[in-house]
Copies of this chain bind each other. A is one copy, B any other.
Amino acid sequence: MESELIAYLRKRLPPHPRLKLGPGDDAAVLRWAEGEDCVVTVDLLTDQVDFDLEKVDPRRVGRKALAVNLSDLAAMAAVPVAGVVAVALPRRGGMELAVALYEGMLPLAEKHDLAIAGGDTNSWHGPLAISVTLIGRVTERGPLRRSGARIGDRVLVTGSFGGSILGKHLDFDPRVEEALLLAKRYRLHAGIDASDGLSVDLAHLAEESGCGAVIDVEAVPIADDARRLAKQRADGRSPLDHALADGEDFELILAVAADEAERMLAEQPLSVPLTAIGRFVDEAGLWQEDAAGRRSPLAARGFQHVFD
């Protein structure tokens, strides 16, 4: 599993004077010039895992490959600067495919004032794999880490969750501007983007912060597509199940002190809703509470790459 590999790397990698934040957060932070630290993130997307090239316009694939990385910069409250793109293209139709991937990326890059700086283009006998690396810069507020949540902090989220497989996983808007606005205007303690699933990503954030989290399941904002998917599938999974576990919502999950959270909720400064869905607690793990305040464990579910 990916988390095992991160644990291995954290143990194995020597400290480095330039590395302010290494493996295990949404992006790494490199010490650069004063006030100009450099944020780096990479995501590799592959056919049949992150998209189905037989069914999807390759421009949407290119757009997604960039968007998931922008979402990682958003999770760090970093300003996008530049990106490089590496692709392994199937031999047949490779040039046309490469152009379509870039055509999907470029409007989103321009929207976020990101320079496409270069890349590496290869052909091979395998299916499409596309890797995007983004470089951003921290603002004067510093990077937003996963490890800053404090006991008593509220869990705030942007937007709504679940059912992204119906389309949002390809066409979502990474919350870059939202993260920068929130980081500028409010004191955020920690943040992560919901890529693998609301519950599992919240659990990651809590774990990195050395605490646990209670989710108020009644408060979780459920996407229309989560309801639609539950109805379509009719497999006993509720819309809430989808919201907690589906993954690829690419919304922000934030840890904010209770009084600051009140202010944010009252002001609602974004064009998407901000919702409080729980709080951070001393007890490790993920929890839900009933009306009487009794806690029971909540499974942290979501997408994980499984290796033999």
Chain A residues in the interface with B (C-beta under 8 A) = 1-2, 4-5, 8-9, 12-14, 16, 18-19, 22-25, 27-28, 30, 32-34, 36, 38, 40-44, 46-49, 81-82, 84-89, 91-95, 98-99, 102, 106, 110, 113, 115-127, 129, 131, 133, 135, 305-308
Contact = CB atoms under 8 A, between A and B. Distances in A.
A189 B16 CA distance: 33
Nearest to A306: B123
A180 to B, nearest CB: 17
Contact of A93 (B23, B93, B305, B308): B308
Contacts of A84: 28, 40-42, 133
3 A-B pairs with the lowest CB-CB distances in the bound complex, closest first: A33-B33, A94-B307, A28-B117
Contacts of A44: 86-88, 120, 122, 129, 131
Nearest to A25: B118
Nearest to A85: B42
A11 to B, nearest CB: 11
Given A115-B16, A307-B95, A36 B42 contact: no
A196 to B, nearest CB: 12
Contacts of A33: 32-34, 36
A115 B38 contact: no
Contacts of A106: 12-13
Contacts of A116: 9, 13, 22-23
Given A36-B36, A117-B19, A129-B126, A82 B30 contact: yes
12 contacts: A8-B99, A13-B106, A19-B117, A23-B119, A28-B118, A32-B32, A42-B118, A44-B86, A92-B308, A94-B307, A95-B308, A126-B127
